[in-house]
Structures are given as structure tokens and as C-alpha cells.
Amino acid sequence: MSNPIRSRLALRSTAIITALLLGLGLLVIAIAAPMIARQEGASQHRQLEGLVNTVEHTAAIASFLGDDQLAGEILDGLSNNATVSGALIRAGEQVLASRGDLGGEETGIIRRPLMSPFNRDEQVGEVVLASNQGVIREQVKAATLLASTLLLLLVIALGLCVIAVVVRMITRPITTISNRLHGLKVELGQKLDIPNGNEQDEVGRLVRDVNAMIDYLVNLLNSEKALRREKELNERKFRAIFENAQSAIFVTDSQGVLLSSNPAFLRLFDVSPQQLGGPNPPLLFDLVGDQAGPLQARLRQCLDNNRGTTVEVTLSQPGRWLELIMNPGGEGTVQVIANDITAFKHATSKAEQKASTDALTGLGNRLGFEQRIHNLLDGDARGEPFALIYLDLDRFKEVNDSHGHQAGDAVLIKVGEILRALARKSDFIARLGGDEFVLLLEGVDREDVCTRLATEFLAVLDQPLALNDTLSVSVGASIGIAFGETGAVSAEAIIAQADEAMYRAKEQGRHRYCIHRPSAQ
Amino acid sequence: MAARTLRHLILLAALAWGCQALADDGAELVLVVHPDSGITTLSRDEAINIFMGRHRQLPSGITALPVDLAPARAEFYQLLTDKTLAQINSYWARLVFSGRASPPRQAQDAAEVLDIVANSRGAIGYVRRRDLSAGVRPLVGLATWRNLQTASTAP
């Protein structure tokens, strides 16, 4: 808008062409002016020569006769001419007549000898003509000015023609296209029209190119739109799944910063949205209590190996189990699906307990015992001492035979209670089947602990066991004791040792204990 | 130039031959003056100067009075100035207004010429040789000038 010369093609090209033409015109004038002047000067000279030619014959007669009257008339006639400043006719050396000023520049003087009308060889006089150089200069100037003016007019006319042509051929079609482009509703499939008469030229090609580009862009836009719609749909679908999932779904990085999470996550970890959106949002590791360390290690592992993994986490407060399925999410993030498996864990552990418990006595059964001793011996701990006590009731078969199974069961329950009362809380007691019991005393390497326990048990059995108000029975017990250290002995070996010691006690007369000693073997 | 000169030569040769025939016939024009005019001969340039109004006096100083013989005028000026009668008339017409020079007096026949010349000391005229009379002095036949002219132009 600032400068029309810069913003208007027609004006600019016209300005340039006009400037060029003006320059050329001035150059031509500069070269032509002296030529015109010379030409004009020569023309003036020719005119004066012509004047002299006209009067020459009469002037010759005047000179021949010495007729000053006639000579004067001739000079009067000559002097009427504006370019003549002065003239003179001589007869011989004598001046017949003169008019005006002959003292001008020498260049303007024309001399013509006058010959006798009757003898071409005899000079009778002379005519002298002085031209008015000022007038001639004026005329030369006028002629030059006229030529220059015509040239200038030509330049101006040419400039106007160029403007007209440029406006007609270039600017107007471009402006038309530009205006149409401004008002074009491309999204409705509108196209540019080619201005009339420009179908075959560059303007037409430009319009066709623009249309092709519009086509291309519209197609691109439509496919983009379709893609975006599809993506939106998918996103909404996934968002719904994410939002409504009962599993907690969240994304975290290796530092435990929570990048995104769903409502189930908030419920699972008991976090309020305000907390999460607040200035100091909790880290994942803040929410898992003492499990932070192991969890962070597993998180790192998942990222380092770039492989999914599943972790179970126990929250001591409020005592829940969580299962975290972690998958690397790219760029250092981990996607986690967390489920509360507390109920499942409880059910499992109840089932496990049920399987490893003797239903009659509430003590462990054979399976429970085997699990316990394998857990102890297959673990990582080394050099942890422990004691194994095998116990078999004497005369139990008689109770069963004489008082029935119920009495037998009552005896077994009673024995279980006695053992539970005698043993430490941490000691494991199991009934292996029938009237066979076992005690696993972890951390015990002192003989006296075991012998005291055995002695006390035997002492209890010295008294008859009151099964109910009316019935009391007497049973004894044979006890075998073996000692071992974790990592130094297998479960089978220690069981065999305790069993062997128990049979020794039976052989030695029952109701006593025997200790397995490595040296005794 | 050469071609023009050649043409003149042929023309003049023919004229010379014709005049010779006239001369024999007594038809040659002869300049005549008063016996007391003081001149016995006249050059062609002197004749031109007198008859064309340039000189007003005869070489002897007497005021000249040229006389034309009207019937022979064309022939005379042709021989004297090599110009037609129309050219001569035009010459005099230019001088009418200045009044400085005037054309010769016109005589209608040879007798009138002879009469004027015989009665005026400064008069000068021309008649055919056969019309000459005792009262005038014949100067020169114009054929002579023609021969002179032929001789002078010949080279």
C-alpha cells in the first residue's frame, strides 16, 4: 500500500519503460540536436542562396547599367526576408545600393559575382547578402524544440500504451484471479474461472495450476478429516475403556511420577483427584509403603529389558494384595494395569491352609509339613539350625479298638492341644497321619530344649487323659529327635534320621525319647 | 560542354554561310554614324554598351543617340548580343520604372534611320548595305563581328 510504484505491476513496468524511453529520447536529442542545427543552418543558407539566385539576373542588369534605383528596389525586396540582416550591390568597385547591417559575423555573408547580361565572361559587379544569425539561431532552436517535443510526446504516448497493454494483459487478469481467489469457497468444491481470452496463455496456465492445487489440497483435507474422525472415534472408545475399566490403569516413569491414570486407579490407591492434580502430586512409590524399593527395582528392570512383567505387591496397610502388570510404554514410561487381588489371595491362602491342615486337630498335615520343611531347606538361608521331633503314640490302637474311633479322635485332639501348649508359638506342629506327629523347631540347636519338651510331654501322658466325664484313657509316646542345619542336610535325610531315632525309642521299651547322633551311626 | 560547343560551331558555320550570301545580296546590316561623329570604327562591346543603354556617349565623347531599325531589330540584336527579341524586350521592361536608361529610338524604315543619323552628330543606327546613302558614315558590317565571334569561339 505504501508505494504505488512498488505495489502496482503496471505502474512499475511503465515507470521503467518510460525512464528507459526518456533516457533514450534524451540521448537521441543530444545526438540529433547538433545535426538538426547543422541541417537547419544549411537549409537557411540554401534559402539565402535561393534568394540571391532569384535576384541575380536583375541585379546583374542593375550592375551592368550602374542603375542604383533598380539595385535599391532589389535590395528592398531582399530585406523583406526576416533572415536577411543586410545586403549590398556593387557595380565594379562602386557601391550601387546597400540596405541594413553588413557588419555581422563573417559566416553569414554570401557573395555572388554579377556577370554582364551580354557577356558571360565579364564581371560587372557583386551582390553581398548578410544573414541574420540571431533569427537563424531562433529558427534552429525552434526546429530542435519541435523535434524534441515530438519525441517526448512519442515517449509519453508509448508509456501510456505500455500501461494500457500491461493493465489489460497482465494486471487486470491477475487482479481478477486474486479477487476470485479471495471469495472462493474451496471447501464447497468451487474452482477459479479462467479470465476471458486468457485460456491459452500463462494466466490460463496459472489458473489451471491453482485449480489443480486446490483439488489436491481438498482431497488431502478430506482424507485428513476422515482420518481424524476415525481417530477420534477410536480415542473415545479407548478413553471409555480406560475410564470405565475396573482395573487401575496408569502410566509412570522410572521415578514413579504418575503421568496419567484412570478413576479405578484413584479408587485402588485411595487417592483423591485433587491430590493428584495438586501442586505436589504423590509419586507411585509414596502409595505402596514399604514396597517402594522392590517396585522401583522391577520398574527399572522392565524398562531395561524392554519387556513386560507382572509383580505382586502386598500393602501392609490396609493389608491388601495388588497385582501390577507392567509394560514399557516407550520414551522411558511404563504402562501399568493394577488389580486388587486381595480376595483372590485370601481364597487361595485359605485353600492352601485347608490343604495343609489336619481337619481333626487343626495342626498341619503331612502336606503342610512337607511344604514347611521344604520351604525351610530349599530357601536361601545357610547354617540356620533346626530340630525335628518325631512322635508316635503307644497303645493308641487299643483305645481305638476298645472305645471306638470317636475316642481315638478325641485322644488325637487332646494330644494336639498338649503339644500346642508345650511348643513355642513359632514351632510347627503337624499330624502326619494316624497317631504320628511331628514338630519342627526352627532356630533350635540345643538338645535340652528338645529333651525338656519331650520330657514334659511324656510327663503329661503319664496321667490318664480324660476324654469326657466318664472316660479316661492312657496312652504313651515314642519320640525321636534329630538336629540339622539349613543347607547342610536334605529334608529326606533329616526325616529319616528322626524316624530312625523314634523307632529306636520304640525298640528300647516305648514311652521315651531317643536323639539321633551322627556318631551313633 | 564539348557537344554544346560543336553544336554552336555548326550553327555559326551555317549562319556565316547564309550571311555571306546576304552580304553578296547587299542585305548585310551595317552600323552607320554621322560623318562628324568623330569615330571611324566601333568594337562589338562598345556597340553593346551603347545600344543596351550602359554608355550614353560615343567613344569620341559626343552624347550617343542609338536608333533601331524596327523591321531588322530581331536580326540585329541576335547578331549583336546573341539574344532573342523577347529577351531584349524583357531587359528594357525591367528598366522602365527606374528611368535611368531608355531603349533606342525606333525608326520604321531605313530612310528614317538614314535621315536621323544624317541630321544628328551623336546618332548611331544600322541599315542594310544596299540602303546606304552618302549622308552617313558606314562603320562596320555586322558579319565581321559574326566572323570575329566565330573566330573567338572557335578554339
Ramachandran class of A275: left when φ > 0, alpha when ψ lies in -120 to 50, beta otherwise: alpha
The tens digit of pLDDT for each residue in A352-389 reads 888 888 888 889 899 889 988 988 888 777 888 999 99
Residue B112's pLDDT is what? 92
Residue B14's pLDDT is what? 59
Name the residue facing B95 among A68, A70, A119 (closest C-beta): A70
Q: Evaluate if residue A347 carries a pLDDT over 80.
A: yes
Residue B153's pLDDT is what? 43
The tens digit of pLDDT for each residue in A196-246 reads 777 888 888 888 898 898 889 888 988 999 999 999 999 999 889 888 888
Chain B, nearest residue to A70 by Cα: B98
| Segment 49-78 of chain A within 8 Å of chain B by CB | 58, 61, 64-70, 73
Residue B150's pLDDT is what? 47
Stretch A409-418: mean pLDDT, rounded?
Answer: 92
CB burial readout A383-416, b (16+ within 10 A) else e:
ebebbbbbbbbbbbeebbeeeeeebbebbbbbbb
Which of the pair, A351 or B24, is modelled with greater confidence? Answer: A351
Q: Evaluate if residue A59 carries a pLDDT over 80.
A: yes
Using the beta-carbon criterion (under 8 Å), do A65 and B101 form an inter-chain contact? yes
Distance of alpha carbon B78 from alpha carbon B90, whole angstroms: 15
Domains of chain B: 27-153 (3.40.190.10)
Using the beta-carbon criterion (under 8 Å), do B45 and A58 form an inter-chain contact? no
Q: Evaluate if residue A396 carries a pLDDT over 50.
A: yes
Distance of alpha carbon A368 from alpha carbon A353, whole angstroms: 8
Share of chain A above pLDDT 70, in %: 97
Lowest mean pLDDT among A37-46, A83-92, A323-332, A333-342: A37-46
DSSP secondary structure letters along A166-213: HIIIIIHHHHHHHHHHHH--GGGT--PPPPTT-TTSHHHHHHHHHHHH
Which of B56, B94, B148 best tests the A interface by mutation, with the highest count of A CBs <10 A? Answer: B94
In sequence order, which ranges of A321-467 are alpha helices (DSSP H)? 342-355, 366-378, 396-403, 405-422, 447-462
ipTM of the complex: 0.76
Share of chain A above pLDDT 90, in %: 17
Q: How confident is the model at residue A131 (pLDDT cuts 50, 70, 90)?
A: confident
Which residues of chain B carry a pLDDT beneath 50? 1, 150-155
Distance of alpha carbon A504 from alpha carbon A491, whole angstroms: 20
The tens digit of pLDDT for each residue in A468-485 reads 888 888 899 999 999 998
Which chain A residues contact residue B91 at CB under 8 A?
61, 117
Which chain A residues contact residue B94 at CB under 8 A?
58, 61, 70
The tens digit of pLDDT for each residue in A278-306 reads 888 888 888 887 788 888 888 888 888 88
Sign, Cα dihedral of A463, A465, A466, A470: negative
Which chain B residues contact residue A61 at CB under 8 A?
91, 94-95
Which of A54, A55, A56, A65 best tests the B interface by mutation, with the highest count of B CBs <10 A? Answer: A65
Which of the pair, A103 or A222, is modelled with greater confidence? Answer: A222
Q: Is A103 helix (H, G, I), strand (E, B) or coil?
A: coil
Query: Angle CA(B116)–CA(B121)–CA(B126) in degrees, nearest 5?
Result: 50
Using the beta-carbon criterion (under 8 Å), do B94 and A118 form an inter-chain contact? no
Which of B50, B91, B97, B153 best tests the A interface by mutation, with the highest count of A CBs <10 A? Answer: B91
Record the cell numbers describing residue A115, joined without a space.
556577370
Nearest to B146 by CA among B69, B82, B54: B82
Chain B, nearest residue to A67 by Cα: B100
Q: What is the mean pLDDT of chain A?
A: 85
Distance of alpha carbon A235 from alpha carbon A475, whole angstroms: 76
Q: Chains A and B: how many Cβ contacts under 8 Å? A: 39
CA B89 to chain centre: 15
- Give the contacts of A428 (CB within 8 A, at least 6 positions apart): A364, A368, A369, A372, A439, A440, A442
Residue A278's alpha-carbon distances to A256, A273, B22, in angstroms, are 16, 8, 159
B8 touches chain A (CB under 8 A): no
